[in-house]
A and B are shown apart, each in its own frame.
Chain A
Amino acid sequence: MEINELKHCLIIDDDTDDQEIFLMCLKKVSDNIDGKTANSGVDAIKMLNSDQAYIPDYIFLDVNMPKMNGIDCLKQLRSIDRLKNTKIFMYSTTSESAVVKQSKGLGANDFIKKPSKTKELKEKLSAIFNIVSKIDPTN
């Protein structure tokens, strides 16, 4: 099964390695996904403010970022009216329960711990997009 219509994903992460790995996994999960990146919460808000037509379906938001952290960014994202149907996933190296609870309270749909294996990330993304991975499960 494939995604029928194009899905827009925004990845907000100050770590460009993590951005790269994430985009790589997205591509493996489906061709019908448009992945955009922002290097910080500040950049992401700027980007969303300057392009009012852009409505991401999914936002993956790193927690530990310089200046504006993921939690503060989440608050701002949830105050943008056109993003009310956007699913926001927190995305972090550690998943401390207090932070998980706080982010869900502030409107995050779920909390994903950054896995050390790309296979795990691909499975997570497939589940989120409700698709069976097009790729060979051994890969």
Chain B
Amino acid sequence: MTLNTEQHSANRLKARSDLYQKMIEEIEDYAIILMDENGIIQNWNKGAQKIKGYTDQEIIGKHFSIFYLPEDLAVQLPQKLMEQARSNGKAGQEGWRKRKDGTRFWGSITITAIHDEEHNVIGYSKVTRDLTDKKVAEDELRMSEERYHQMIAEVQDYAIILLSPQGIIENWNIGAEKIKGYTAAEVIGKKFEMFYTPEDRAINLPDKLLARAKEEGKAVQEGWRVRKDGTRFWGTIVITALHGKDGRIIGFSKVTRDLTAQKLAEEKVNAYYAELELQNSELEQFAYVASHDLQEPLRKIQTFAELIQENYSDEEFVKRYFEKLESSAQRMAELVKSLLDYSRLSKDKEKDKDKSNLSEVDLNEIVDEVKQDFELLIEDKKAVIISEPLPTLSGNRMQLGQLFSNMVSNSLKFSKTNPIIRMSSTIVNKSQIPDAPDTLADKKYYQILFEDNGIGFEQQYDKIIFSLFQRLHGKQDYAGTGIGLALCKKIVDNHKGMITAVSEPDKGAKFYVYLPVNSN
């Protein structure tokens, strides 16, 4: 290599180094600072001036800790970073720094140790980037997320739950705790189907709702749900599918509102409405049959009176028709009395609601009273009444008295010779009652059996006999208004029980009266 070439090579090297120096000096977006091994600033580029606000003259020769906030200086952060760079080769940090004018900027800093050939640290380079805009945006986003999270966490009236795509509970707010009774620790990680009733779980309702939310975006449902303590609440639920950027389902939000109070109020209104409808139709039927059955004896009285007038001279005729007239009047009186008894039951029903009419009634006492009332008829018919020990139960004493009186009277009436009436009682479950309707509560009942050896009836009439004014026999064959058994049915209904009958013509009749063991 000639001197000339050496010179040329040295020139090229110098030119490259100058270019390199120039490049660093001109970079505007990064502050690039050269420091000696003690952290004293030796060099400084345009970017540094732009970011930190000092001129070359102001800063060269100063310690780099000039950029640090008092709180960072107090914990000796500059020294620590330099120490770290010395031992590890470099140190990185993000934090607030101070400009010349006192304002702050968020800097991302890398300090790198510079070594000589013997590997001694002879200085440091410090590259700082101003990320204030990014930092502010990030902070705002984070705060907004925090506020949002807090908002959900503290909503009290709605249970807001985050579910995984598999329906695992991932998040839980105060509203959820309040409505469902579980704390977050008790439910997070469990499947959300734990809030569903066994009936709904049996038909896979939780999975079906998730599937619907997956398919249609959301699933809305109202139904009974179960709290931690086992009680139920009426929830209105919206499950919404949550999608990632690629459109895949990343989970579900489930918002539940407890509308139990509204639901119960609604059910109460519906029950009142149904009750009112029933009463209305009963009243209509009552008015129709009452007017028919009351008009009948009245019409006959008028006819008989007319005939008596026309045949006044015929003594025999007059005598016979006066008897008929009297028996029609008698029948009318009976009808009016029975109708009053029947309508009084509806009034009693109102009082029974506040339980003011209810007391512990010993049915054995009732039977004794009925026997006394029918003493003459029993003697006359040579009837035998056998009653096995009967229970004491909560009920309306007057009504239960009427029930037993009507049952015994019915058996005495529809008998031939030497009537035998037997009363007995056992306890049965609802499931043991034949043809028990759904409306009958699932509990224990006293089954009180009234059994007679009378004329009986064809089984096909087992329902009609309990209807108002329905009779199975001509008025001339058997006296009666057709109200007695209807009254019994109403009394049993009032006591939330039921009455059935089993019979065959000439084989006697069995009447089964079911009354709740526990009236609550």
Contact = CB atoms under 8 A, between A and B. Distances in A.
B296 A93 contact: yes
Interface string B470-486: 11111110000000000
B224 to A, nearest CB: 43
A80 to B, nearest CB: 22
B9 interface: no
B439 interface: no
Nearest to B295: A93
Interface string B427-465: 000000000000000000000000000000000010000
Most buried by B among A14, A17, A21, A40: A17
Nearest to B289: A64
B10 interface: no
Contact of B474 (A15, A24, A96, A117): A15
5 contacts: A15-B476, A21-B303, A66-B471, A66-B474, A119-B306
B473 A66 contact: yes
Given A14-B475, A39-B474, A94-B295, 10 more contacts: A15-B474, A17-B324, A24-B307, A66-B470, A66-B472, A67-B472, A93-B292, A93-B295, A94-B292, A116-B303
Contacts, number: 52
B312 interface: no
A67 B472 CA distance: 5
A66 to B, nearest CB: 4
A52 interface: no
B316 interface: no
Contacts of A67: 461, 472
B288 interface: yes
Contacts of B471: 66
Interface in B465-505: 470-476
A16 interface: yes
A117 B310 CA distance: 11
Contacts of B295: 93-94
Interface of B: 288, 291-292, 295-296, 298-300, 302-303, 306-307, 310, 324, 328, 461, 470-476
A102 to B, nearest CB: 14
A139 interface: yes
Contacts of B324: 17
B303 A118 contact: yes
Given A14-B475, A66-B472, A94-B295, A118 B307 contact: yes
Contacts of B475: 14-15
A33 to B, nearest CB: 19
Interface string A10-26: 00001111100100100
B299 A64 contact: no
Contacts of B299: 93, 114-116
Nearest to A96: B288
Contact of A64 (B292, B300, B303, B310): B292
A34 to B, nearest CB: 23
CB-based closest 10 A-B pairs: A116-B302, A14-B474, A66-B471, A94-B292, A116-B299, A93-B296, A66-B472, A16-B476, A93-B295, A39-B474
Interface in A70-116: 93-94, 96, 114-116
Contacts of A16: 474, 476
Interface in A105-138: 114-119
B183 to A, nearest CB: 64
A18 B296 CA distance: 10
A69 B296 CA distance: 16
Contact of B306 (A64, A66, A94, A117): A117
A67 B471 CA distance: 7
B16 to A, nearest CB: 117
Nearest to B288: A96
A112 to B, nearest CB: 13
Contacts of B307: 21, 24, 118
Contacts of A18: 300
Given A118-B307, A139-B310, A94 B302 contact: no
Contacts of A119: 306
Contacts of A40: 474
Contacts of A66: 470-474
Contacts of B476: 14-16, 39
Contacts of B472: 66-67
A110 to B, nearest CB: 19
Most buried by A among B302, B310, B474, B476: B474
B49 to A, nearest CB: 105
A24 B321 CA distance: 13
A117 B302 contact: yes
Contacts of A93: 292, 295-296, 299
A87 B324 CA distance: 31
B300 A17 contact: yes
Interface string A44-81: 00000000000000000000101100000000000000
Contacts of A39: 474, 476
A39 B307 CA distance: 23
A28 to B, nearest CB: 10
Nearest to A121: B303
A15 B460 CA distance: 23
Nearest to B472: A66
Contacts of A14: 474-476
A119 B473 CA distance: 30
